[in-house]
Chain A
Amino acid sequence: MNETESDTYGLMAEFETPEDLLEAAKRTYGKGYRTLDAFSPLPIHGLAAAIGFHGTNLPILTFILALVGAIVGYGMQYWIHVIDFPLNIGGRPLHSGPMFIPVTFEMTILFAAVGTVVAMMIRNGLPMPYHPVFNVAKFERASQDGFFLCIESADPLFDVEGTTSFLQDLNPVEVSTVEW
Chain B
Amino acid sequence: MTASNLTASNEAEPNEAEPNEVGQTISRKQLNLDDLRGRLARPGGPAYWRSLDELAGTEEFEAMLHREFPEQASEWSDGVSRRNFLKLMGASLAFGGLSNCTIQPEEKIVPWVRAPENLIPGKPLYYATAMTLGGVGTGVLVESHMGRPTKIEGNPEHPSSLGGTDAITQASILDLYDPDRATAVKNAGRIATWGGFLQNLDQELTLQRSQKGKGLRILTETVGSPTLGQQLSFLLEEFPEARWHQYEPAARDNVRTGAALAFGEPVNTYFDVAKADVILSLDADIFNSGAGSVRYARDYAARRRLRNGESELNRLYVVETSPSSTGSIADHRLALDSAAIEAFALALAGKLGVKLENSPEQPSYDDRAGWIDALAADLRNAGAASLVVVGDQQAPILHALGHAINQSLGNIGTTVHYTDPLEVDPVDESRSMHELVASMLADEVEVLIIVGGNPVFDAPGDLDFTEAMEHVGFRAQLSFYENETSERCHWHVPQSHYLEAWSDIRAYDSTASIVQPLIQPLYNSKSAHELIGAMIGQAGLPIRDILREYWQQETFADDFDEFWVRALHDGLLADMAFDRRRVRLRSPIKISREFGRPRGDDKFELAMRPDPLIWDGRFVNNGWLQETPKPITKLTWDNAALMSPTTAERMGVDNEQVIDLTLPGRSALAPVWIVPGQADGVITVQLGYGRRVTGRVGTGAGFDAGPLRTSAQMWGARDLKVIKTYDRHPLACTQDHHSMEDRHLVRHADLDHYRHHPDFAQHETHESPASLTLYNTNEFSSTTGNAWGMAIDLNACIGCNACAVACQAENNIPIVGKEEVLNGREMAWIRVDRYYTDLDDPEIFHQPMPCQQCENAPCELVCPVGATTHSEEGLNDMAYNRCVGTRYCSNNCPYKVRRFNFFQYADRDTPSLKLQRNPDVTVRSRGVMEKCTYCTQRINAVRITAKKRGTPILDGEIKTACEQACPTEAIVFGNILDAESRVTDWKASSRNYGILTDLNTRPRTTYLARVRNPNPAIDKG
Chain A interfacial positions (CB closer than 8 Å to B): 87-94
In the complex, which residues 11-67 of chain B have their Cβ closer than 8 Å to any Cβ of chain A? none
Q: What count of chain B residues pass the 8 Å CB interface test?
A: 18
A141 CB to closest chain B CB (Å) equals 54
Assess the B861–A92 pair: CB atoms within 8 A: yes
| B859 adjacent to chain A (CB < 8 Å) | yes
Residues in A whose Cβ lies below 8 Å from that of B779: 88, 93-94
A169 CB to closest chain B CB (Å) equals 69
Assess the B856–A87 pair: CB atoms within 8 A: no
B146 CB to closest chain A CB (Å) equals 35
Assess the B870–A89 pair: CB atoms within 8 A: yes
Chain B interfacial positions (CB closer than 8 Å to A): 775-776, 779-780, 854-861, 866, 869-872, 1002
Q: Looking across the interface, which residue of chain A has its beta carbon closest to that of B892?
A: A90
Assess the A87–B1002 pair: CB atoms within 8 A: no
Residues in B whose Cβ lies below 8 Å from that of A87: 866, 869-870
Q: How far is the CA of A142 from the CA of B871 in the complex (A)?
A: 68
Q: Looking across the interface, which residue of chain B has its beta carbon closest to that of A88?
A: B870
Residues in A whose Cβ lies below 8 Å from that of B871: 88
Q: How far is the CA of A92 from the CA of B871 in the complex (A)?
A: 13
Q: Which 3 A-B pairs have the closest CB atoms?
A: A88-B870, A90-B860, A90-B861
Assess the A90–B780 pair: CB atoms within 8 A: no
Residues in A whose Cβ lies below 8 Å from that of B872: 88
Residues in B whose Cβ lies below 8 Å from that of A88: 779-780, 869-872
Assess the A91–B855 pair: CB atoms within 8 A: yes
Residues in A whose Cβ lies below 8 Å from that of B869: 87-89
Apart from A91-B855, A92-B856, A93-B775, list 16 A-B contacts with CB within 8 A.
A87-B866, A87-B869, A88-B779, A88-B871, A89-B860, A89-B861, A90-B856, A90-B859, A90-B860, A90-B861, A91-B780, A91-B857, A91-B870, A91-B1002, A92-B861, A93-B779
Residues in A whose Cβ lies below 8 Å from that of B856: 90-92
Assess the A91–B866 pair: CB atoms within 8 A: no
Assess the B775–A92 pair: CB atoms within 8 A: yes
Q: Looking across the interface, which residue of chain B has its beta carbon closest to that of A99?
A: B861
A136 CB to closest chain B CB (Å) equals 56
Q: Which residue of A89, A90, A93 is within 8 Å of B776 (Cβ)?
A: A93
Q: How far is the CA of A90 from the CA of B861 in the complex (A)?
A: 5
Q: How far is the CA of A93 from the CA of B861 in the complex (A)?
A: 11
Residues in A whose Cβ lies below 8 Å from that of B860: 89-90
Assess the A90–B858 pair: CB atoms within 8 A: yes
Q: Looking across the interface, which residue of chain A has its beta carbon closest to that of B858?
A: A90
Residues in A whose Cβ lies below 8 Å from that of B1002: 91
What are 16 contact pairs spanning A and B, CB under 8 A? A87-B870, A88-B872, A89-B860, A89-B861, A89-B869, A90-B854, A90-B859, A90-B860, A90-B861, A90-B870, A91-B855, A91-B856, A92-B775, A92-B856, A92-B861, A93-B779
Q: How far is the CA of A87 from the CA of B876 in the complex (A)?
A: 12
Q: How far is the CA of A87 from the CA of B779 in the complex (A)?
A: 11
Residues in B whose Cβ lies below 8 Å from that of A93: 775-776, 779
Residues in B whose Cβ lies below 8 Å from that of A90: 854, 856-861, 870
Among A88, A91, A92, A94, the most chain B Cβ lie within 10 Å of the Cβ of A91
A45 CB to closest chain B CB (Å) equals 48
B732 CB to closest chain A CB (Å) equals 34
Residues in B whose Cβ lies below 8 Å from that of A91: 775, 780, 855-857, 870, 1002
Q: How far is the CA of A87 from the CA of B611 in the complex (A)?
A: 48
Q: Looking across the interface, which residue of chain A has its beta carbon closest to that of B780?
A: A88
Q: How far is the CA of A89 from the CA of B776 in the complex (A)?
A: 14
A85 CB to closest chain B CB (Å) equals 8
A177 CB to closest chain B CB (Å) equals 62
Residues in B whose Cβ lies below 8 Å from that of A89: 860-861, 866, 869-870
Q: How far is the CA of A35 from the CA of B776 in the complex (A)?
A: 66
A24 CB to closest chain B CB (Å) equals 60
B835 CB to closest chain A CB (Å) equals 28
Residues in A whose Cβ lies below 8 Å from that of B776: 93
Q: How far is the CA of A92 from the CA of B776 in the complex (A)?
A: 9
B774 CB to closest chain A CB (Å) equals 9
